[in-house]
Structure 1
Amino acid sequence: MLQVADGLLVEKGFAGVTMEGIAARAGVAKQTIYRWWKSKSDVLMDAFLQDAAEDLTAPDSGDIARDLRDYLRRLAWFLSESDPGAVFKALIAQAQHDPVFAQDFRSRYLDGQRRRDRLPLERAVDRGQLPADLDLAAETDQLVGPLYYRVLVTDEPISHEFTDGLVDAFLRRHKPTTRTES
């Protein structure tokens, strides 16, 4: 059902997705959909959460430069090129008009995504590769914020060169060590 909802959103846009359409495409009764979800926003959020959990796991090679490059490239692809990225944009748009949904989206996705975005930096701090007093929130914003900005505001492409440039700027600012904690 979640894949059906994802597919309909990509095909028809948020306004074109209905509970009836999801039920028809899935070959189930509409009541079956309503048994599990209150609204199309709820169905789409669950579909998106499943996709995010599968696609946005932060790598942990022990090399902060490699992990950041890999993660930012993966996040950029997810947000700008994948079907779940289209769902993300629709959910963000819905959150602008529905405060209850916005709070739910924040608590069910955005807060967890924030932790995933920060995880490579936390691991590097724990390994002694980055200073213990690193402002994780600010550095995370500087690394991933430009990706969200391009996806949600300017619609500019996000190349590997762009994401690698963000990582290079971070590495120049902080000059991580190669020391690791055992």
Structure 2
Amino acid sequence: MSATPNPQRRSEKSRQAILAASIDLCSEKGYGGVTMEAIAARAGVSKKTIYRWWPSKGAVLLEAVGQKVDSEAPFPDTGDLAGDLYTQMNRVVRLLTTPPFGPAYIGILSELHHDAELTRAVHDQFITPRFTAAVNRLKSAQRQGRLAADADLEMTVELLYGPLYYRYALRKPPHSPERTVKLVDHVLRSLDCRP
């Protein structure tokens, strides 16, 4: 007698196929050329299946980008604050400026002014968890006496990552690794960071 198929495993296989299809299509056609119909056809599922899990193509691509960032750009904590910031920031720049994930994310950002639900999802699923991870890394440095006790950690994250997003959003060349080193050094010096 054959075993009954596990619906959870089948659902996860479909979910991963949908995420992969969305990224592949974005790479081939650009963000504007991706449709829910095309994702469904490429993934071998119905549109109804996609809409059961995501309300829009932006939401599908957001999950695909977030999954990639989580796997390739976690926030390190080696005890060397500046080194950890260089490492993590350079990974993020590399990921978000390299196809297919860079074009997918810039497409998602372009829809934020028109899609309140996607805006909430970007903040809840993508920005807030990564912002929190950065603040927690700075708190660790603060507890070790490497950052001033009165440093505004949330503002520090904005000072560090704001220039990266500025260049990204305006389609300017990304910071080089050397420029990121200067950015991190400048921000940490302004915060009375101790070696």
TM-score of the alignment, normalized to the shorter chain, above 0.5 = yes
1:97 lines up with 2:114 in the alignment: yes
Give 1 or 2 for the bigger CA radius of gyration: 2
117-126 or 130-139, which deviates more: 117-126
TM-score with structure 1 length normalisation? Answer: 0.87
Paired-residue identity, %: 37
Amino acid at match of 1:126: R
- Within a 5 Å distance, the mapping from 1:70-109 to structure 2 comes to 70-109=87-126
Task: Write out per-residue CA displacement over residues 138-179 of structure 1, whole angstroms, 9 at most, x where no aligned residue.
Answer: 21111111000000014223211110110121233245335x
CA distance in 2, matches of 1:76, 1:109: 15
CA distance in 2, matches of 1:126, 1:82: 38
Query: Unaligned 5+ residue runs, structure 2?
Result: 1-17
- Match of residue 54 from structure 1: 71
Secondary structure of 2:111's aligned partner? helix
CA distance in 1, matches of 2:186, 2:130: 22
**Which of 4, 17, 32 matches 1:15?**
32
Query: Unaligned 5+ residue runs, structure 1?
Result: none
Task: Write out per-residue CA displacement over residues 93-138 of structure 1, whole angstroms, 9 at most, x where no aligned residue.
Answer: 1112112321222222221222133333222112221122111122
CA distance in 2, matches of 1:174, 1:16: 45
131-140 or 108-117, which deviates more: 108-117
- Within a 5 Å distance, the mapping from 1:107-118 to structure 2 comes to 107-118=124-135
- Within a 5 Å distance, the mapping from 1:1-182 to structure 2 comes to 1-178=18-195
Aligned residues: 178
